[in-house]
């Protein structure tokens, strides 16, 4: 119940912030262009709370909080609206449909633009905060991966990826995301005081093959972080707990084979379902031997072993394993703008990948996944929640610019056709487009909810 509560609370906060900023973009642009705004609502459906703005640019507008927290709207004076039939002719100039085409386009585009600006501001705040993460040390790659084929052995420290500097593994993760659809990845690394450059290439047989998920592409390079094999959390009643493993135990050998990295330890566990394994661990300065039997579990049709443990948090590791970083405000602003551009390009590319078949449609998620993400990041702290809001804000901005009627991008498409034609589209054409838009949005929503429930069930 506590997890559900934090997810719901985080979801409501996220929606309130993201919707308010998006609609405020439309609102401010409308008022700047002299358009009268009748209502500003956060949420759809029955109005729960409402009040009339009395000062400055908010004067005369009805502000409302509505029952369904899945969006919002700004209702402007429009002479085509039947409910505005009684408007005085003198007020016609304050109607949306009577404004010049460029002003109407600015008003429509202002919502998504507000989302991109919000993302940049959020990224700036998050990136200006003190940062602590695992050092950018590479774990020993598996033999069949591009990392191994390029000649990486493990233990190298990544300095740059595709000529962009990285400080720790958090930067590496982001650069891997921005390189999601690349077939080649360049790494500048340091090993034993010597700098070398490696070029990783995806296998030819993988080119053009649609992966099951974005995660499949990320892991396809064979790059993993080098982390010591130190036990963090141990699940009560699991195989590790029954065998006597405790938080802080450092695994130094499995079946007399030396282990240095967490990935080596977990690989040995995965390969031995229902088989007793002899572990040598260091605890409080002394060495002990523990026998653990991984339980059997089926994952994607493959049987693997699990002992129900997690690696120790990076915050609890020594200075040789982690990197602390603080950015100046100007550096944070520059990094935030770059991060917003990267996130926007990545979102567009993933959407195109879904259309082209490169990315599975199962990557589309809905409000349930968003609520879970909001709850998890809210529990992790202000910085994590701020980063979550930033990436969702970018997604909202991109999605609203899709050239689909019912969305801001669809309205901008109407405006483009109006500019080419020299006159507005007919009401019949716009109504037909609206029906297409409703069908698209309904289908997209249904798919997102289906993926949410399928993920929960499975």
Q: Residues 123, 342: contact at Cβ < 8 Å?
A: no
C-beta pairs of 160-165 under 8 Å, 24+ apart in sequence = 160/186, 160/187, 160/188, 161/185, 161/186, 161/187, 161/188, 162/186, 163/188
Distance of CA 329 to the CA centre of its chain: 24
Pick from 177, 138, 102, 43: nearest CA to 415: 102
Give me the phi and psi of 406, to 5 degrees please: 95, -25
Residue appearing with tokens 């005085």: 88
Rounded CA Rg of the chain: 27
| 93 in active site | no
Give the angle subtended at the CA of 273 by the CAs of 267 and 276, to the nearest 5°: 95
Cα-based distances in Å from 325 to 5, 138, 167, 299, 316: 33, 19, 8, 37, 16
Residues 6+ apart with CB under 8 A from 79: 87, 92, 95, 97, 98
Residues 6+ apart with CB under 8 A from 430: 405, 414
Cα-based distances in Å from 38 to 25, 34, 165: 15, 13, 50
Residue 177 CB coordination number (10 Å): 15
Token representation of residue 301: 């049709």
H/E segment holding residue 166: none
3-state secondary structure of 80: coil
Token representation of residue 451: 């993926």
- Dihedral sign, Cα of residue 424, residue 425, residue 427, residue 432: negative
Q: Which residues are catalytic?
A: 23
């Amino acid at each position: 119940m506590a997890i559900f509560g934090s997810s719901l609370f985080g979801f409501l906060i996220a929606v309130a912030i993201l919707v308010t900023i998006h609609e405020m973009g439309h609102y401010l642009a409308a008022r700047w262009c002299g358009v009268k705004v009748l209502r500003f609502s956060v949420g759809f459906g029955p109005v729960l709370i409402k009040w009339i703005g009395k000062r400055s640019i908010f004067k005369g507008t009805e502000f409302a909080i509505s029952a369904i927290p899945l969006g919002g709207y700004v209702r402007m004076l429009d002479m085509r609206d039947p409910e505005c039939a009684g408007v005085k002719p003198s007020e016609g100039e304050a109607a949306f449909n009577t404004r010049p085409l460029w002003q109407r386009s600015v008003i429509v585009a202002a919502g998504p633009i507000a989302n991109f600006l919000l993302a940049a501001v959020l990224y700036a705040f998050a990136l200006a905060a003190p940062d602590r993460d695992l050092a950018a040390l590479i774990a020993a790659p598996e033999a069949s991966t591009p990392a191994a084929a390029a000649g990486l052995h493990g233990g190298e420290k990544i300095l740059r990826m595709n000529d962009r500097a990285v400080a720790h593994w958090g930067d590496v993760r982001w650069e891997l995301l921005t390189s999601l659809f690349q077939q080649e990845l360049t790494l500048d690394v340091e090993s034993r005081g010597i700098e070398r450059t490696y070029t990783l290439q995806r296998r030819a047989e993988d080119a053009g093959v649609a992966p099951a998920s974005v995660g499949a592409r990320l892991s396809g390079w064979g790059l993993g972080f080098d982390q010591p094999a130190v036990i963090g959390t141990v699940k009560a009643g699991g195989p590790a707990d029954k065998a006597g493993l405790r938080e802080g135990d450092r695994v130094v050998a499995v079946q007399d084979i030396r282990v240095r990295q967490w990935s080596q330890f977990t690989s040995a566990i995965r390969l031995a379902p229902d088989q007793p394994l002899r572990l040598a661990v260091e605890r409080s300065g002394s060495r002990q031997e523990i026998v653990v039997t991984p339980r059997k579990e089926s994952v994607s049709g493959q049987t693997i072993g699990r002992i129900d443990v997690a690696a120790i948090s990076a915050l609890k590791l020594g200075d040789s394993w982690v990197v602390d970083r603080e950015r100046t405000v100007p550096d944070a602003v520059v990094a935030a703008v770059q991060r917003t551009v990267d996130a926007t390009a990545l979102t567009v590319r993933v959407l195109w990948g879904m259309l082209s078949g490169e990315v599975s449609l199962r990557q589309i998620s809905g409000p349930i996944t968003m609520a879970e993400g909001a709850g998890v990041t809210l529990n992790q702290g202000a910085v994590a929640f701020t980063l979550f809001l930033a990436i969702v804000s970018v997604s909202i901005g991109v999605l609203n610019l899709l050239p689909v009627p019912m969305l801001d991008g669809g309205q901008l498409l109407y405006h483009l056709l109006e500019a080419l034609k020299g006159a507005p589209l007919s009401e019949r054409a716009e109504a037909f487009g609206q029906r297409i838009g409703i069908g698209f949005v309904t289908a997209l929503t249904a798919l997102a909810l289906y993926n949410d429930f399928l993920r929960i069930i499975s």
